[in-house]
Amino acid sequence: MTGMLTIAGLGPGDEALVTPEVSAALADATDIVGYAPYIARVAARDGLILHASDNRQELQRAVEAMRLAAQGRRVVVVSSGDPGVFAMASAVFEALEASPQWQGLAIRVLPGVTAMLAAAARAGAPLGHDFCAINLSDNLKPWPVIERRLRLAAEADFAIALYNPRSASRPEGFARALDVLKQAGCGDRIAIFAHAVTTAEERIDALPLQDARPEMADMRTLVIVCNSTTRRCGRWIYAPRRVS
Ligand code: SAH
């Protein structure tokens, strides 16, 4: 048996947004490795071993996946959304770099629909002009770096997609992020709160950033702070293509 390590994105939640390529990889796998809630999205079947792990164990998870693939197994490491966006693909390559014995492994990365694209589609086209994405988790980067990026993104008038806005272990960070953006002059910009997009619990709210409250976000929310030219057209929110 020839081992293969596939790093795949399951999309934002809806089964219809899992790509056919990812479905085929899951159907062909011997082992699935990932954070427990994502593993729960993969249908169990005979012969398929599910290796569920805790949230912060990305590196151990990556090493385990490589070890299994080196034994000849067909391993799929799953992330939600896209595996390259604040997810497992970087962790696997970080582990690979530190493990010369595995550098000949067959590896592939299969893209998925990332949360900001699913959220933007629900709202209309808020990412239709230049935009950036910032992870608000400070587990792996110091808060001053986050704050600086927020300020510069605001100054450059990017639409800003905020991942991991708020968690029980970091209740203060999002309130600080909102303050930084308000101080940077974004108070009038439209803020979109997209909760659990494409799932049964989906909820989309949009309001001026200055009226946003920190409790509006949780770990299942993707926030888009629109650029200054973004406007409403009926129920839709869109970024015009032209900026003078
Ligand atoms: N790799 C994932 C992101 C992982 S970080 C992707 O590409 O989408 C986890 C964060 O993604 C969450 O805190 C939330 O901000 C966002 N997210 C993931 N799925 C979401 C969904 N269905 N609805 C809203 N936000 C989501």
pLDDT in tens, 208-220: 999 999 999 999 9
Q: What is the pLDDT of residues 106-154, one digit of tens each?
A: 999 999 999 999 999 999 999 999 999 999 998 889 999 999 999 999 9
**How large a percentage of the chain has pLDDT more than 90?**
91
Q: What are phi and psi of 8, to 5 degrees?
A: -125, 150
Closest atom of ligand 1 to 82 CA is: 7
- Residues with a CB atom less than 6 Å from ligand 1: 12-13, 79-82, 85-87, 114-115, 119, 163-165, 194, 196-199, 219-222
Between the CA of 48 and the centroid of ligand 1 the distance, in Å, is: 26
Give the per-residue pLDDT at 1. Answer: 58
> 30: how many CB neighbours lie within 10 A of its CB?
18
Give the global pTM. Answer: 0.96
pLDDT tens, position by position, 71-102: 999 999 999 999 999 999 999 999 999 999 99
Q: Return the structure tokens found at 193.
A: 């709160």
100 CA distance to ligand 1 middle (Å): 32
Residue 206 has a pLDDT of 98
Q: Which of 56, 197, 220 has most ligand 1 atoms within 8 Å of its beta carbon, as the pocket-test mutant?
A: 220
Q: Please report which confidence band the pLDDT of residue 193 belongs to, taking 50, 70 and 90 as the band edges.
A: very high
> Are 197 and 13 contacting, i.e. CB atoms less than 8 angstroms apart?
yes
What was the pLDDT predicted at 126?
Answer: 98
Residue 225 has what pLDDT? 98
Query: Which ligand 1 atom lies nearest to the CA of residue 79?
Result: 1
Name the residue among 60, 75, 140, 77 with its Cα closest to residue 112.
77
Can you give the pLDDT at residue 139?
85
User: Which pLDDT score, from 0 to 100, does residue 208 have?
Assistant: 98
> Residue 53 — very low, low, confident or very high, per pLDDT cuts 50/70/90?
confident
Report which of residues 106 and 55 the model is more confident about: 106
Cα-to-centroid distance, 222 and ligand 1 (Å): 6
Atom number of ligand 1 nearest to Cα 115: 8
Q: Which of 115, 177, 170 is nearest to 140 (CA)?
A: 170
**How far, in Å, CA of 216 to CA of 221, rounded?**
8
User: How much of the chain, in percent, has pLDDT values that exceed 70?
Assistant: 100
Q: Which residue has the tokens 């959304």?
A: 81
Q: For all residues of the chain together, what is the average pLDDT?
A: 95
Averaged pLDDT for residues 153-167: 96
**190-195 and 203-208 strand pairing:** antiparallel
Alpha carbon of 147 to ligand 1 centroid (Å): 20
The pairing of beta strand 107-110 with beta strand 4-9: parallel
Across residues 27-49, what is the average pLDDT? 95
- Tell me 142's DSSP state: -
Q: How far apart are CA 45 and CA 20, in angstroms?
A: 18
Q: In which order are the strands placed within the sheet that holds 74-79? A: 49-53, 31-35, 74-79, 4-9, 107-110
Please state, in angstroms and rounded to a whole number, the distance separating the CA atoms of residues 12 and 222: 11
